[in-house]
Amino acid sequence: MPARYPDAFRCHWRAVTRPPALAPDRVHLWRLRLDLSRERIAELAGHLSPGEQERAARFRLPPVRDRYIAGRGTLRELLALYLGIKPAEVAFAYSMRGKPQVYGNGTDVRFNMADSGALALVGLALGRECGVDVERRRRDLDPLEIAGRFFSPAEAAALAALPLPERRRAFFCAWTAKEAFLKGTGEGIFGGLDRLVGWPPCSTPQPVRLNYGHEDQPDWHLLNISPAPGYAGSLVVAGGGWQVVCLRQATPAT
């Protein structure tokens, strides 16, 4: 790890009403707002499946419930644009460890979603797996305490050696990289955060190879991003030769 941790890649978020065509060498990364108006929340709730509606109803705190509806409903709207169907018609299947994927429609669109606070990221790729993570940079967390529990000893030592101003930023870059990779592979928490070693500095605009220690794993490439002030994020994609297209909805829902 360098003495100074580089800045993350800052996306230029292109506002669109319809997404551009999804090509094998392009990965679409969407930034979503989750704090929306009552009218918009009601509209998005109409897209949800009965199971999603039941889950939303179990959230006792209205802000948490509304953010769940905003994230799930907007995800359905995005996928519907790519699939050419209605949001309520989007169907999901799940791996044994819970990774969602589009069910039916004969499509090879892969996706992954993450949220934190009032922000969500959605990654979409054609014919290749992807994983995303986003975290609000909370100041009540102790990076060294968490790294000591969940990072490898070498990573924790490298983090401790950084100057204090760099340490928190480096921690969140590393944490989101690990989470995004484990979500991309579908291993989730079962993959073990401490087993993902060799994560690169946070980062250049170019994807870099991750070393997970599995010879049978395909090449995975990482892009650390700065999605919004106060947030850290990562996008991980199977294979190389791709470029990221950063998108947001053209008309903000207020």
* CA gap 167, 26 in Å, rounded: 32
Per-residue pLDDT, 213: 54
Compute the average pLDDT of residues 237-250: 91
The pLDDT value recorded for residue 88 is 96
Residue range 165-222, pLDDT digits in tens: 788 888 998 889 888 988 988 876 655 666 665 455 554 545 555 655 555 555 788 8
The mean pLDDT of the chain is 85
Q: How do the domains of the chain map onto residue ranges?
A: 14-36+108-249
CATH classification number, 14-36+108-249, choose in 3.40.630.30, 3.40.50.360, 1.10.645.10, 3.90.470.20: 3.90.470.20
Q: Check whether 149 has a pLDDT greater than 50.
A: yes
For position 254, what pLDDT does the model report? 41
> In terms of pLDDT, which residue wins out, 58 or 148?
58
pLDDT value at residue 3: 47
pLDDT at residue 124 tops 80? yes
pLDDT at residue number 173: 87
Select the more confidently predicted residue: 9 or 15.
15
Q: pTM for this structure?
A: 0.89
